[in-house]
């Protein structure tokens, strides 16, 4: 939900989606400590996304591909919830997961350990 997400990450994902560079069945899950909704995320990011009138329908489809989980950097239950959300969105199909981390160095180790433990797709 921070500046990097609203100014760079979400706009870039939108442009990649809009221009057809992402798979059709892709899904995006934001994760941060803040309690926020997907609608609020896009409300904050809209000015940076530069959506043209003729792109509105495509943009609405893009927004529907997004979800959000709030959680802490060190709580196993929160990462289990993140994994549950990823499984729900992939409908238990085989899925590739890519994690983009923009974190303080002090929490990087705990977050990557919890992602590895709870959020890797099962073979």
- pLDDT score of 1 more than 70: no
Q: pTM score > 0.85 for this model?
A: yes
Q: In percent, how much of the chain has pLDDT > 90?
A: 80
3-state secondary structure of 73: coil
- Within 10 angstroms of residue 84's Cβ, the number of other Cβ atoms is 13
Taking only the tens place, the pLDDT of each residue in 41-87 is: 999 999 999 999 999 999 999 999 999 999 999 999 999 999 999 99
Structural Rg of the chain based on CA atoms: 15
- Tell me the average pLDDT across 21-44: 93
Q: Are 14 and 62 in contact (CB under 8 A)?
A: yes
The rounded distance, in Å, linking the Cα atoms of 120 and 116 is 6
- Tell me the average pLDDT across 99-116: 94
Write down all domains in the chain, each with its CATH number in brackets.
Answer: 3-118 (3.40.50.720)
The rounded distance, in Å, linking the Cα atoms of 4 and 12 is 11
């Amino acid at each position: 939900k921070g500046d990097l997400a609203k100014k760079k990450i979400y706009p870039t994902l939108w442009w990649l989606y809009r221009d057809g560079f992402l798979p059709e069945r892709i899904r995006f899950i934001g994760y941060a400590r803040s309690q926020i909704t997907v609608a609020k995320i896009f409300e904050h990011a809209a000015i940076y996304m530069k959506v043209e009138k003729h792109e509105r329908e495509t943009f609405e489809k893009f927004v529907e591909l997004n979800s959000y989980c709030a959680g802490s950097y060190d709580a196993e239950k929160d990462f289990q919830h993140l994994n549950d959300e990823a499984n729900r969105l992939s409908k238990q199909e085989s899925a590739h997961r890519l994690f983009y981390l923009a974190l303080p160095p002090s929490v990087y180790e705990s977050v990557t350990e919890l992602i590895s433990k709870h959020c890797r797709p099962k073979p």
